[in-house]
Amino acid sequence: EYADIFCPAVRHQATAGHIKAAVLLRTFGETRLELKLIEKVHGETEFHNEKVKKNREILKNLIDCVLFLGKQELPFRGHDEKAGSTNRGNYVELLSFLAENNADLHYHLLTNKVFCGTSERIQNDLISAVGEVLGEAIKDEVQKAPFVAVMVD
């Protein structure tokens, strides 16, 4: 009697369906691999987004320096912008001043060798970008105005 039940049960244990079900039973309730992968990707995405947020804040500080110096009609560059110089120019000195109260900017200026934002090229690119935005704003304002007056000195 038992042989009639035992032999089919042994054969069933060797089938792919039984093996798969046994594995699923043993791993049921444990963290699955795909969930771990999703968590890993989510963590990396959050890290990337935080880095982008910090980079935007750094760029905002650089643009604020350009706007301030432009508004005050001050020159950007100095004669000697090397690290040991006593006066490295208004732009670099203003950034250094802002970095004293901004830990992220301070860390960025000390550690970032590829893009710290103080090179002549970056200064010129920022000045050009600010000029383009201001030019577009003036153009839009003139187009919306019912009349325009031009004063020449």
At 55 the pLDDT is: 92
Average pLDDT, the chain: 87
The secondary structure element, H or E, covering residue 75 is: none
Q: Mean pLDDT throughout 42-54?
A: 93
Q: How confident is the model at residue 22 (pLDDT cuts 50, 70, 90)?
A: confident
| Residue 32 pLDDT > 80 | no
| Residue 6 pLDDT > 70 | no
| Residue 30 pLDDT > 60 | yes
At 57 the pLDDT is: 96
At 94 the pLDDT is: 95
- φ, ψ of residue 137 to 5 degrees: the values are -65, -40
Going by C-alpha positions, the residue among 95, 89, 13, 3 that lies closest to residue 58 is 95
Domain ranges (residues) in the chain: 1-30, 33-144
At 134 the pLDDT is: 94
At 38 the pLDDT is: 83
| Residue 42 pLDDT > 70 | yes
Provide the whole-model pTM: 0.68
At 150 the pLDDT is: 86
Q: Mean pLDDT throughout 34-41?
A: 80
**What one-letter code names the amino acid at 139?**
K
- φ, ψ of residue 43 to 5 degrees: the values are -65, -40
pLDDT in tens, 85-137: 778 889 999 999 999 999 999 999 998 888 888 888 999 999 999 999 999 99
Provide CB contacts within 8 A for 120, sequence distance 6+.
Answer: 77
At 31 the pLDDT is: 61
